[in-house]
Amino acid sequence: MIKARRPLSSALLFGAALSLFTVSLPAPAHAQATDAVSAPVAALDQALNTIQQSGAGSFDARSQTLGPVVDQAYDLETVLRSSVGAARYLQLSADDRQKLLSVFREYTVARYLSSFKKGSGAKFTQSPDIRNSPVGGNKIVTTHIGSAENMPGTEIDYILHQEGGAWKIVDVLLDGHISQAAAQRSDFGSTLSSGGVSGLIAVLNKKVKTFSEE
């Protein structure tokens, strides 16, 4: 004789329905917004981890790995404008801006390759907290860089703004207050004053070559 199955209780049915409903819910809008802000920094950290692995290949191969990530993570033109100085940048011709931006991009990538050589062993820990920047609308995402034995390591704050609907890095702060763009503005300004755009391009190209030979 086959026994009839006992019907599921209303509590069990409700629990199953709630479980299915919960799984299908999209991420909260706040979480999606937070992910969008931090995504460029997370992608950069991942790429920097990749290029320092022992099998990452030659300088050129590592550059091809990192370059597209830098293009996506950074608003390089805004960084360059800040590094040159807004007033001086606006005085440059469109052709000079384009030439300078091209070599600045190579310089940015090469500097990262030099800082995170193969076998460096740097570890990246991104803070889940996103802070508002004093500059209206900008956000701050923090990463700590250290070794396995020395964590959390050095604090790096990335300043991001929205450009074309996406968040992009526009400055990097060391130890929470040392602006990379401001430091570059000091260096670039003296070179531009003495040698113009061609002089700055020559200096940046020389630095790229030095980084590639290290």
CATH classification at residue 171? 3.10.450.710
Whether residue 144 is contained in a domain is answered as: yes
Distances from the Cα of 124 to the Cα of 41, 43, 68, 116, 187, angstroms? 10, 11, 20, 12, 28
pLDDT score at 151: 65
What element of type H or E holds 128? strand 123-132
Whether residue 195 is contained in a domain is answered as: yes
Peptide bond into 26 cis (omega under 30): no
Range list of β-strands (E), 21-165: 123-132, 139-147, 150-163
Across the range 144-173, mean pLDDT stands at 89
Whether residue 81 is contained in a domain is answered as: yes
Tens digit of each residue's pLDDT (9 = 90 or more) over 10-60:
443 334 333 333 344 454 544 556 789 999 999 999 999 999 999 999 999
Two tokens at 33?
Answer: 């917004």
Higher-pLDDT residue of 214 and 37 is 37
Whether residue 106 is contained in a domain is answered as: yes
C-alpha span between 108 and 56 (Å, rounded):
18
pLDDT score at 70: 98
Q: In the structure, what pLDDT confidence band is assigned to residue 203 with cuts at 50, 70 and 90?
A: very high
Higher-pLDDT residue of 152 and 9 is 152
Contact 207, 184 (CB under 8 A): no
CA-wise closest residue to 117 among 29, 71, 49: 49
Q: In the structure, what pLDDT confidence band is assigned to residue 177 with cuts at 50, 70 and 90?
A: confident
Question: Residue 205 corresponds to which amino acid?
Answer: N
Whether residue 87 is contained in a domain is answered as: yes
How many domains is the chain partitioned into structurally? 1
Domain that holds residue 158: 29-213
Distances from the Cα of 17 to the Cα of 6, 12, 21, 23, 205, angstroms? 19, 9, 6, 10, 63
Whether residue 2 is contained in a domain is answered as: no
Whether residue 78 is contained in a domain is answered as: yes
Whether residue 11 is contained in a domain is answered as: no
